[in-house]
């Protein structure tokens, strides 16, 4: 995957797509399908992208109800052996890219279907999820914008309203300044006078937009999402700890206790003596990883007038929080798995001891080595995603316009610029544009 990330960083999308396609072949892994689908999108192979992302969605849903045998293998060997389902965020974002693919093909109706799929999926997740990521302000706004473009103004208003509710406490991302005006515009079309007045008090300038102008949305994706890495940690098991367990619940309860020892130096005195160190492999995101150089984005027109593109989605932050939410369960599973393997090692030693002490030690060493080789963290992820998404949402008079997205670092230096083909703005219509900077 590193060579693919390198090609993407150099904006060599076709090369990255070809390399990855050859690597994964006709894969049935959800993470590989997600990465392949986005690479196909970046390379302009929209039909392949649609097909692959649909396969990823179907397989992810199927694997929500995994077979018990596959779960048993994952517990006994490693989480990497289990069926990867994709995260909740993955399943929402695949509709974002399918929607963009349909927009690139001028198929607004199909794009709006993807927007509706986002809204429905997030509605269900908001009711049922116990994790931090329950809903998504950016994707609700995106979904609402598709509804708006297709003339479904009531649905647009609902999505915009939901987006505004979410952004307040959403991964440190403030509500974009354009969200209140577009919500007001949708409410006016629906005709809810009370909500109109409330919104107008919050964003008075929304009422001054010239009638007859068109709406332009520019999505600016920056960088690469952080890859998941593996770390090995050692946890102390003491001689007075239980070594035999009546059932799985008792072993899992002990695993919880052992997990609390992480980050604490083990000690040895007359009361507590170290028996052995338990090695477990865990996934993590590197704290020093910087997914992008970009600190701000502006959209310029032919007169060099600047429209700020505001931070709308912190993907790196979402991914880190999602892993943090899952980490307690991951740690307990890893410790439980290590305890099972350690028990197998001791059983092998005991079986050998009945015949020969040396043979018992050899049996134990072989089983222990096999356990160590199979222990691996699950580092599968959709790592071709951008690290951040900036968005500009503004109005322009009807007619042709030349627009450019300028990606800048924290000193205002230009890192990358993308010149869009001439944009034809029509009265009352919505135009979607998208640019990606890999730096």
Q: Would you list the DSSP string of 171-206?
A: TTPPPPTTHHHHHHHHHHHHT-HHHHHHHHHH-GGG
Residue 84 binned pLDDT confidence (cut-offs 50, 70, 90):
confident
d(CA 3, CA 88): 27
Mean pLDDT is lowest, of 126-130, 153-157, 413-417, for 126-130
**What is the average per-residue pLDDT within 224-238?**
95
Residue 8 binned pLDDT confidence (cut-offs 50, 70, 90):
very high
- Domain extent at residue 319: 213-439
Kindly report the backbone phi and psi dihedral angles of residue 437, in degrees, each rounded to the nearest multiple of 5, phi listed first: -110, 125
Greatest Cα pair distance, the chain, in angstroms, is: 92
Mean pLDDT is lowest, of 8-22, 278-292, 341-355, for 341-355
27 lies in a domain? no
**What is the average per-residue pLDDT within 288-305?**
95
Contact predicate 42/104, CB 8 Å: no
Grouping H, G, I as helix, E, B as strand and the rest as coil, residue 432 is strand
Whether pLDDT at 371 is above 50: no
110 lies in a domain? no
- Mean pLDDT of all residues belonging to the chain: 90
166 lies in a domain? no
Whether pLDDT at 383 is above 90: yes
**What is the average per-residue pLDDT within 194-218?**
94
Grouping H, G, I as helix, E, B as strand and the rest as coil, residue 231 is strand
156 lies in a domain? no
More confidently predicted of 185 and 169: 185
- What is the separation of C-alpha 432 from the centre of its chain, rounded to a whole number of angstroms? 22
Whether pLDDT at 362 is above 50: no
Element (H, E) at 282: strand 274-284
**Residue 264: DSSP 8-state:** S
By the 10 Å C-beta count (0-12 exposed, 13-18 middle, 19+ buried), 110 is classed as middle
**What is the average per-residue pLDDT within 66-74?**
50
Mean pLDDT is lowest, of 174-183, 286-295, 337-346, for 337-346
346 lies in a domain? yes
**What is the average per-residue pLDDT within 422-434?**
98
User: Residue 392, by phi and psi: left (phi above 0), alpha (psi -120 to 50) or beta?
Assistant: beta
The whole-number pLDDT of residue 347 equals 72
**What is the average per-residue pLDDT within 31-49?**
98
Residue 369 binned pLDDT confidence (cut-offs 50, 70, 90):
very low
195 lies in a domain? no
> In the numeric block, which tokens belong to residue 435?
């640019």
**What is the average per-residue pLDDT within 259-288?**
85
The whole-number pLDDT of residue 77 equals 55
**What is the average per-residue pLDDT within 311-335?**
96
By the 10 Å C-beta count (0-12 exposed, 13-18 middle, 19+ buried), 1 is classed as middle
The whole-number pLDDT of residue 253 equals 96
At which residue do the structure tokens 């960088």 appear? 223
Residue 186 binned pLDDT confidence (cut-offs 50, 70, 90):
very high
At which residue do the structure tokens 């079309």 appear? 189
> In the numeric block, which tokens belong to residue 185?
């515009």
% of the chain with per-residue pLDDT over 70: 89
The per-residue pLDDT for range 255-271, each reduced to its tens digit, is: 999 999 998 776 666 57
Residue 374 binned pLDDT confidence (cut-offs 50, 70, 90):
low
The whole-number pLDDT of residue 351 equals 67
**What is the average per-residue pLDDT within 187-195?**
93
> In the numeric block, which tokens belong to residue 144?
């609402």
308 lies in a domain? yes
The whole-number pLDDT of residue 75 equals 53
Predicted TM-score (pTM) of this structure: 0.91
436 to each of 4, 292, 324, how far by Cα in Å?
A: 16, 11, 28
Residue 69 binned pLDDT confidence (cut-offs 50, 70, 90):
very low
Q: Would you list the DSSP string of 243-254?
A: ---SSHHHHHHH
- Tally of domains within the chain: 1
d(CA 178, CA 157): 14
384 lies in a domain? yes
Contact predicate 327/282, CB 8 Å: yes
**Residue 212: DSSP 8-state:** T
The whole-number pLDDT of residue 224 equals 98
């Amino acid at each position: 995957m590193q060579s693919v990330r390198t090609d993407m960083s150099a904006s060599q999308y076709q090369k990255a797509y070809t390399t990855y396609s050859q690597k994964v072949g006709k894969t049935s892994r959800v993470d590989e399908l997600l990465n392949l689908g986005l690479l196909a999108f970046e390379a302009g192979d929209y039909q392949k992208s649609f097909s692959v992302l649909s396969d990823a969605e179907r397989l992810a849903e199927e694997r929500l109800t995994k077979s018990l045998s596959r779960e048993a293998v994952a517990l006994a060997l490693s989480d990497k052996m289990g069926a990867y389902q994709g995260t909740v965020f993955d399943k929402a974002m695949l509709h974002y890219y399918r929607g963009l693919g349909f927009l690139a093909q001028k198929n607004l109706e199909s794009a709006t279907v993807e927007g509706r799929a986002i809204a429905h999926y997030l509605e269900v997740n908001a009711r049922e999820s116990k994790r931090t990521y329950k809903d998504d302000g950016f994707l609700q706004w995106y979904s609402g914008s598709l509804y708006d473009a297709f003339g479904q103004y009531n649905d647009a208003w609902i999505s915009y309203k939901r987006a505004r509710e979410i952004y307040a406490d959403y991964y440190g991302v403030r509500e974009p300044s354009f969200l209140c005006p577009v919500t007001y515009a949708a409410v006016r079309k629906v005709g809810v006078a009370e909500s109109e007045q409330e919104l107008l008090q919050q964003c008075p300038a929304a009422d001054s937009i010239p009638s007859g102008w068109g709406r332009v949305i520019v999505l600016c994706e920056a960088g690469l999402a952080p890859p998941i890495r593996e770390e090995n940690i050692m946890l102390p098991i003491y001689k007075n700890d239980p070594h035999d367990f009546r059932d799985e619940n008792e072993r899992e309860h002990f695993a919880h206790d052992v997990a609390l020892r992480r980050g604490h130096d083990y000690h040895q005195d007359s009361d507590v003596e170290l028996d052995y160190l338990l090695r477990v492999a865990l996934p993590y995101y590197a704290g020093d990883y910087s997914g992008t150089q970009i600190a701000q984005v502006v959209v310029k027109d032919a007169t060099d007038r600047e429209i700020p593109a505001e931070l709308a989605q912190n993907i790196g932050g979402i991914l880190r929080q999602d892993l943090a939410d899952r980490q307690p369960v991951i740690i307990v599973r890893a410790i439980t798995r290590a305890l099972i393997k350690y028990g197998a090692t001791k059983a092998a030693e005991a079986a050998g001891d009945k015949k020969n002490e040396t043979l018992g030690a050899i049996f134990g060493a072989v089983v222990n080595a096999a356990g160590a080789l199979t222990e691996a963290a699950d580092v599968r992820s959709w790592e071709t995603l951008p690290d951040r998404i900036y968005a500009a949402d503004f109005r322009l008079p009807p007619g042709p316009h030349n627009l450019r997205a300028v990606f800048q670092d924290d000193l205002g230096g230009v890192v990358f610029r993308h010149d869009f083909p001439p944009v034809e703005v029509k009265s009352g219509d919505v135009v979607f544009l998208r640019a990606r900077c890999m730096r």
